[in-house]
Structure 1
Amino acid sequence: MAARRVSARIGGISESATLAVDAKAKALKAAGRPVIGFGAGEPDFPTPASIVAAAVEAAKDPRNHRYTPAAGLPELREAIAVKTARDSGYPVTASQVVVTNGGKQAVYQAFATLLDPGDEVLLPAPYWTTYPEAIALAGGVPVPVVTDESSGYLASVEQLDAARTPRTKALLFCSPSNPTGAVYPSHLVETIGRWAVEHGIWVITDEIYEHLVYDGVQTVSMPVAVPDLADTCIVVNGVAKTYAMTGWRVGWMISPPDITKAAANLQSHLSSNVANVSQRAALAAVSGPLDAVAEMREAFDRRRRTIIKLLSDIPGVDVPTPQGAFYAYPSVKSLLGKEIRGQRPETSVELAALVLEHAEVAVVPGEAFGTPGYFRLSYALGDDDLAAGVTRMGDLLREAR
């Protein structure tokens, strides 16, 4: 019997569906097809000039040409602590911060630090594609808690408690949500936090979209709503979405001191320090004003209203209005099994493939987020492309019989 070439652990990882859809859309576009992609969750704005200028200066400084502490530049860790108190009202110290290569590394290290084999993590679905893979890589077991459009994609305490077992170690909480754009109201954040404290359940709360909320909605950080949770909570965040810095790869995790020390030890062997030029750019970002995000939020809000109107006008499509992030998550379940261009797609994967082929529009099917029968569309793209893309998709879907 031939030896296994790829380990079972790594061989079991699925490719990132969102990045795969984005890559396919770009490849088709490069081949000359007028594909419009709604796949990647990436602001279409340049990084603010002042942040880029800080990086240029940092690249000239020999201090940044060398190894630096694995957990992050001391001045950046301090600035993140100050920013967290400023933006969230959550008082933390620099020693609680580990600077990571993007939010994904922070998510992975949070699970790797907390979980032993067989530990279960409650995972409200729809969920970001990376969460279950990171849980499984750490030896944990993801336990989806499925929500739908009827609740605005919000998980209730009753649902969470029904999924809880003696093996439950943690809850992954994301608000504003990727992929749905749902924002948990403060009373529900508090209720869930108190439930977690009562049952000794850790909370990993992903706050990467904290500044992207609309219609006067406010976000609240769970350890602020429930101070008793602070000793069993990890906050994950980064500069990617707020400052249009997806490619700079700077995120962080904030945790109790023993978790921070363990995560820093892991990172010292895994990747060592984040690139110093990127860290210096992040320092300028988190220490500076939020003017750029206010401008981006205004554009995203305009696009949000446009995409919801266009999607709502398509027969068979049901879409709640997202209150945060930059995603719409419409249900297309009533279109499945209907004939479109001689085909009868039975799954949202098949329907998304049909939309790509015949409307030349790339969307991510709900299977990638743990809930078949849905599409995720990022509205972080130009206004003209957004309107043209949804219109083309709508024209095709109206053919369903």
Structure 2
Amino acid sequence: MTLPENASPLASRGSMRRIDWETFRRIAEDAATTLPIEQTSAWDAFDAAMDGREPWGRLVYETADGTPRALIALTRMDVRGFPYLWARHAPVWLGAEPTAAEEAELRELLVEGVRFHDPAIVFVRLHFTHPDPGLRELLQTMAYDHTVILDVDRADDEAFLASFKPRGRRDVRKALRNTELTYHDETDKAEEVFGELYQILLETGDRDGFHAAPEETYRTMLRTLGPDHCRLYVARRGGGEALAWSIDTVWGDGAGRYYAASTAEGRRGRAADALLYKEGCWLRERGVRTWDLMGAGSERTPELNGVGSFKGKFTPDGTVAIPGPWDVPVRPRVYGSLVSALTFKHRVHSGTARLRERLGSLRGGRDGADEATADGNE
């Protein structure tokens, strides 16, 4: 379901209308704006290949005089059987940063248009700069509103390394002196090697407290985006066992470090640090100028403080604020019921975890007493 070609019937000062990919791309180029890959036709292929999601449509938000002001590509997704739309890393604003009034008008136009043309949609997820009472924290998904962005447009590899903080340069150079560590672009054999790499992702998730998506998600991403837009880089010991890896997306002169994982040994030996340096050099050779490491800790997401500290070693600029994602209810009552259901689910899980911990403690205490008695009897 998409909006028609004509403007939304509820437009106020500005308007919103549906456009095709070529018009979307041309507007971005005319504004000298590099689109996030999630807003491109390449990402449409990924969405179309995944169960439970599909491209929904592309929109342009225009000022009263018809000047394009923002672009939005939306994906239709599903949570607990309820459909919603997600504009990943959008709206893409053209020119100056948006005012609070512009963000509010865009939300109003979009919500009213969605209600009219696809009334089953429960909420829309978009990225905004300005706080507003109508914005809700995300259901189930972790948001981030700070990241680390590296400038890889340097004269050569040494100049890129010199741009790191002293601690980052030290850790990379230490790893590079280890001749057992080797670094590889394995994009062309991703299908063959990813089974091994997925096990490292599971290990990383257990260590850092996150749940990996099913293995097929990453394979589908690599396959559908293709080598022009998705690269796989791996650090290995002696060209054999994998110690760290990353998936980078590429669109135009921008790139994003979408996924990364490492073994405990890879972390200790700084293989992950040196791999980040190597992949930045390889991305520069592919025409990338700006590289987003995608996510760092903030007041909203303190869970990312650790990973943000790691990423922060590679630039003196530290983390930068970006528009964070928010849920915008389209059907407020249904959205409220979803929030209540998920809150109850989390309370049940939390209570179950505390009960298991308590039972484990009781068992541990009894076992400890038995061991002490046996030792005393001896």
TM more than 0.5: no
Larger Rg: 2
Structure ranking higher on relative contact order (CA contacts 8 Å, 6+ apart): 1
Q: Which has the higher strand share?
A: 2
- TM-score normalised to the size of structure 2? 0.30
Alignment TM-score, normalising by the size of structure 1: 0.28
